[in-house]
Amino acid sequence: MAIITLTTDFGEKDHFAGAIKGAIYSELSDVRIVDVSHSVSPFNISEAAYIILNAYSSFPKGTIHIIGIDSELSPENKHVAVKLDDHYFICANNGIMSMICAEIVPEKIVEINIHDKIETSFPVLDVFVKVACHIARGGTLEIIGKVINTIKPIKNLIPFVNDEQNQIIGSVIYIDNYGNVVTNIKQKFFEEVQKTRSYEISARNHKFKKIYSKYSDIVNFELDESKRNDEGKGLVVFNSSGYLEIAVYKSNCTTVGSASTLMGLKTMDTVTVNFLPILSPSHTRSS
């Protein structure tokens, strides 16, 4: 049984997500449809890219992923189908796939060219569903598109490192359901630049000098629970996806607040890491 996943910015109120599922079942009754998310912020490419990057590999090989974000066809927003890591992705060529392709080289990319055979004002419902069902039946990508070699890059995907190699300038790419702020700085990249140096992480007027292994590491469990007062404290971790994340312990936007609300951080805001020089033993003694 084929699996088709859906990631969109359609929300839950409108009919769009349900209509897509109905169209798929009308084409293929023997299929399993899984909602990854319909709560992507409208037209937020980096947010959608982060979600699909961290969700797709949990599915079996051969899964087909429909990504309905900023999918209206235009001369600058073509539609593509990508085979990558034995998965299939159907989306607009607007940068969504570049985060995944930065880590894994696609096996094949085609620019979808069946639009003249489909009358549509809702490409995710019509074009993307047709392509997904074609693949689910065992069809090849060349039938529904022409092979291309590159995809559109996403802006601010890779953080900047200065010439002196003592500063990383990253940006916020995602804010999760808890209001935690995810940057584009991956742990491996951070450690390659760091080279064991001490550091200071800055986001607006907030500064952090320690990265925790997990959220609860900020808690002093030696203190009596009534004296801890840890909820609402800011911290930095490398999250389960390996990205530098600014968080608030046990955050709640309606009570203690969140990293996003308390620190005023939003998508595309700058997060800076400054690395401190390593002092030589002689310099340490003289000081």
Q: What is the pLDDT of residues 203-221, one digit of tens each?
A: 988 999 999 988 888 776 7
pLDDT tens digit string along 238-284?
999 999 999 988 877 777 778 888 888 998 999 999 999 876 665 54
Backbone dihedral angles phi then psi of residue 190, each to the nearest 5 degrees: -55, -50
Judge whether 199 and 171 are in contact, CB under 8 Å: no
Judge whether 98 and 73 are in contact, CB under 8 Å: no
**What pLDDT does residue 205 have?**
87
- Retrieve residue 105's tokens: 């080289």
* 227-237: average pLDDT: 75
**What pLDDT does residue 227 have?**
65
Proportion of the chain above pLDDT 70, given as a percent:
91
Which of 125-129, 168-172, 248-252 shows the lowest per-residue confidence on average (mean pLDDT)?
248-252
pLDDT confidence of 226, banded at 50, 70, 90?
Answer: low
* 117-137: average pLDDT: 84
Please indicate whether residue 27 or residue 115 has the higher confidence score (pLDDT). Answer: 27
**What pLDDT does residue 115 have?**
82
Mean pLDDT score of the chain: 89
pTM for the whole structure: 0.86
pLDDT confidence of 287, banded at 50, 70, 90?
Answer: very low
Contacts of 14-23 spanning 24+ positions with Cβ under 8 A: 16/68, 16/122, 16/124, 16/125, 19/122, 19/125, 20/66, 20/68, 20/124, 20/125, 20/128, 20/129, 23/125, 23/126, 23/129
Residue 256 CA to residue 199 CA, distance in Å, equals: 28
Residue 121: is its pLDDT beyond 60? yes
Residue 173: is its pLDDT beyond 90? yes
Proportion of the chain above pLDDT 90, given as a percent:
64
pLDDT tens digit string along 60-97?
999 999 999 998 888 888 999 999 999 999 999 999 99
**What pLDDT does residue 254 have?**
72
Give residues with Cβ within 8 angstroms of 205, minimum separation 6.
Answer: none
